[in-house]
Amino acid sequence: MSSAFTDTAASSIAKTKELLKTLQLGALINGEWLRYPDTNSSALPPSLTPLLPSGVSSDKESEGDASASFAVTDPATGEEIYRLPALGPVYTRAAIAAAEKTHREEWGCERTAPVLRRHHVLLEWEKLVKQEKENLAHIMTLESGKPLAESRNEVMYAASFIGWFAEQIRRENGVIIPSPAGDKTMAAYRQPVGVCALITPWNFPAAMLTRKAAAALAAGCCCVCKVPHDAPLSALYVAKLAEKAGVPKGALNVLTTDSAGSRRFGDEVCRSEVVRKISFTGSTAVGKLLMRQATDTVKRVSMELGGNAPFIVFEDANIDQAVQAIVACKFRGAGQTCVCANRVYIHRDVWDQVVPAVVKLVREQIVGHGLTHGVSIGPVINHRAVNSIETLVENAVEKGAKILLKGGPNAKLKCLPEELSGGSFFLPVVLDCRAFDGHEEQGLKRRKYTAKRKREMAHIVQAEIFGPGF
Catalytic residues: 304
39, 126, 343, 461 from 448: Cα distances, Å: 50, 41, 6, 13
DSSP string, 15-28: HHHHHHHHHT--EE
CA atoms within 13 A on the CB side of 73: 17
Q: Which sign, positive or negative, has the C-alpha torsion 56, 62, 68, 72?
A: negative
Give dist(CA 62, CA 40) in Å, integer. 11
Instruction: Tell me which amino acid residue 151 is.
Output: S
3-state secondary structure of 467: coil
CB neighbourhood size of 138 (10 A):
23
Percent helix, strand and coil across the chain, each to the nearest 5: 45, 20, 35
By CB atoms closer than 10 A (0-12, 13-18, 19+), residue 158 is buried
CB 70 within 8 A of CB 83: yes
87, 131, 391, 463 from 395: Cα distances, Å: 38, 46, 6, 20
Give dist(CA 454, CA 438) in Å, integer. 20
For the chain, report the end-to-end CA distance as a whole number of angstroms: 28
